[in-house]
Every structure is written in C-alpha cells, then in structure tokens.
Amino acid sequence: MFTGIIEELGEVESVGARLKVRCSIVMTDMMEGASIAVNGVCLTAVDPRPNSFSADLAPETLRLSNLGDLRAGSRVNLERPLAAAGRLSGHIVQGHVDGTGELLSMEALGDDNWWLRIRVPAELDPFLVYKGSIAIDGISLTIAALEGGVLSATIIPHTWRNTTLGGYRPGARVNLECDILAKHVEKLLRKLEVKPPLTVEKLRENGY
C-alpha cells in the first residue's frame, strides 16, 4: 500500500518490456522483489543497484498506463510502500491504476500555485466526488472541481517542484487511481435491493 506522497523523481534510463530507473533516495532500503510505485503503478523491483532499479512491464501495464509512453530521460514519480508504523499523509493508494486521463491545461494561479484540469474517462465518474481523493500519476490530490467529465485540482508549490506535473504539456496521458473506499461503496450500493415507493394504488391493491 502507498499514500500518494512522492519521495523522489527518478529518471528513466531505458524502457521496453523491462524498465530501468535511475534514482537514489528510494534505493536506501530496497531489496530484490520489493514493491515500488512508478507514476502510481505498483511494480516489482529487480536488479537493485546503488543508483538504479529495474522492473518488468506486462503488456497490459504498458497498454493501460502511461508507462508505455515513457522514453529514456523521462522523469517518473517514485514512492516506496508505506511502513506499518508510518504516517498516512496522503490517502490509501494501491498502485492499481483504474485508467488514464488527458491533461487539458495547467493554469498559473500565482505564487507558484497551479490549477490542473484533466479529462477523465466516463466509467470513472461514479468514484469521483468534490473534495474527494484521487491519485494522479501516483500523487495524492484533492478534487477541487468536477464538471463535464473534467476534474480539476490545485497544485501547490511543493508538488509542482517535486513531481512530474511541472514537466507535462496539454495532451499528456496521466495515470488515475480512484479512492478504493469509493469503489467499495459504489459496488455495495449496486447490490442493494431498492424497493419501489409505497403508493395509494399499492395500498388499494393490498386491500387498504
């Protein structure tokens, strides 16, 4: 499990069926087979070295996330799994991407704050709520507006400087993971038996 608090910006050294990322902070306690979130996608680290790790990418991962768009030199958001005694500073993030969205714009608000707008797939709409949480490329963000299939969020200076968002341009594909709690609630509601309302006609039919 992750929290959406990015620890380090890594740099892609090579990509294909196997991704290799140069980094340092997340390598301090990484072991072979450890989990690592790369742009919000939970991967298994292999061949850990002092300044890099690799991870195998399944065809489905390449197709359903923006990892297939990476090139040598691309920057990626990195986060290690949450330790059992750690603080949940963001929100519960599994590293299981639900889909990708299209970055529409990044508008400057002043003082190095930004207004991010992303077009989201219609099938993810039931899991998105105003002031709810969402992971965008593994970054825990709060939904500031939802309108016409477009999600907006405010990007503070720290997030702008320490994640990949500052390097994106309109049209970029970003990974989206909805709040797991919203997904559970939506499924439970669909399973509930909704009874029709009681009407005068129904009472008459039953002899009242």
Which of the residues 44, 105, 145, 158 is marked catalytic? 44
Indicate if 159 belongs to the active site. no
Which of the residues 23, 37, 42, 55 is marked catalytic? 42
Indicate if 91 belongs to the active site. no
Indicate if 44 belongs to the active site. yes
Which of the residues 2, 37, 91, 133 is marked catalytic? 2
Which of the residues 24, 89, 96, 108 is marked catalytic? 96
Indicate if 23 belongs to the active site. no
Return the structure tokens found at 28. Answer: 């301090």
What sign does the dihedral 121-126-129-134 (CA atoms) show?
negative
Which of the residues 142, 145, 158, 184 is marked catalytic? 142
Indicate if 35 belongs to the active site. yes
Residues 6+ apart with CB under 8 A from 190: none
Indicate if 53 belongs to the active site. no
Indicate if 152 belongs to the active site. no
Closest by CA position to 90, among listed 40, 151, 150, 152 = 40
The 8-class DSSP code of residue 28 comes to T
Which of the residues 14, 35, 152, 154 is marked catalytic? 35
The 8-class DSSP code of residue 24 comes to S
How far is it, in rounded angstroms, from Cα 121 to Cα 175?
Answer: 11
Q: Which residues are catalytic?
A: 2, 35, 42, 44, 58, 96, 142
